[in-house]
Amino acid sequence: MYSDSFLIGYLVLLVLIGAGVGSIITRRNKRKESERQSNDAPILPANNFAPRSPRLKFSAFELEPHSMYRVVARFVDYDKVAHEVGERWRFLRKAFLPYEDGLSLFVEQDGRETHIRMQCREEEQGQIVNAFSDFVVEE
């Protein structure tokens, strides 16, 4: 019914398709592995401050309510307010606005509640949020 050359050509085509699918799967698995490894790597701030202590690393999402914090490296929040070295405050609570990647830190400073707004995007304050322990320490 079919000639030998047609069947051989058909088999070669099937082998090539199988090799292509295998190649795609291999690349996808390598990409997933690479993404998983990059997600495990810590993100340092743009100014490349060395971590103060690996034992005390934390993000802005991990602040402890009612704990006192002191700024040890100047940073600027979403509202362009500079938080200078030596600034102290008691952390009260946080709120996250997912569709804008907005993180609000509510702190008590000098007896009044203050709102520190951050945007968790790399082009904004994402690197500060992820390595917050490079900017503040718990007292």
**Where in the chain are the domains?**
54-138
pTM: 0.59
pLDDT of 11: 65
Output the pLDDT for position 5.
Answer: 75
Q: Could you list the mean pLDDT of each consecutive 10-residue stretch along the chain, which spans 139 residues?
A: 70 64 65 62 48 66 94 96 96 93 94 94 94 93
Instruction: Match 């322990």 to its residue by tokens.
Output: 133
- The two tokens of residue 46 are 């743009």
Specify whether domain 54-138 bears CATH 3.30.2130.10.
no
pLDDT for 125 equals 95
Nearest CA to 115 among 94, 87, 84, 136?
Answer: 94
Radius of gyration, alpha carbons of the chain = 26
- Euclidean distance between CA atoms 101 and 95, whole angstroms: 11
